[in-house]
Amino acid sequence: MKAFFTPADQRPQRFGWAPGSYLCHCSTCKKKFVGDKRAITCAPCAYAAPDPSPEPSNDDVIGQLQRCISELHSIRIRIVEERDKLKTENAALRAKVRKQKK
Ligand SMILES: [Zn+2]
């Protein structure tokens, strides 16, 4: 006769899985399994799930912030250059208008 639930698994706790002796119902694959009273997934589903992505290190965060600061600095330089160019153009246009009024 074919077993109607996954046999007991003794792998350590992971995500919604923990070993035990209760007959449970997996919320992922919907199969019955033997595990801890509070287990919500069977061991195969819990162990098939990918590891959560690691937290970025302080050095990673500092590096990101330094790249942002560097980018903001170059944006500021471009804005100042554009402002100075527009000031020059504006002064030239005003001078031209003054000449035409005379
Ligand atoms: Zn499952």
Rounded distance, CA 74 to CA 19, Å? 56
* The pLDDT value given to residue 7: 63
* 55 CA distance to ligand 1 middle (Å): 27
> CA Rg, the chain, in Å?
33
Residue with tokens 């992505």: 53
Ligand 1: centre distance to CA 5 (Å): 10
Whole-structure pTM value = 0.49
CA distances from 73 to 56, 67, 78, 93 (A): 24, 10, 9, 30
Q: What is the pLDDT of residue 56?
A: 87
Alpha carbon of 20 to ligand 1 centroid (Å): 15
CA of 26 to the centre of ligand 1 (A): 5
pLDDT at position 52 is 84
Q: Measured in angstroms, how far is the CA atom of residue 66 from the centroid of ligand 1? A: 44
6 alpha carbon – ligand 1 mean position (Å) = 9
Q: How far apart are CA 94 and CA 88, in angstroms?
A: 10
Q: Label residue 6 by pLDDT band (50, 70, 90).
A: low
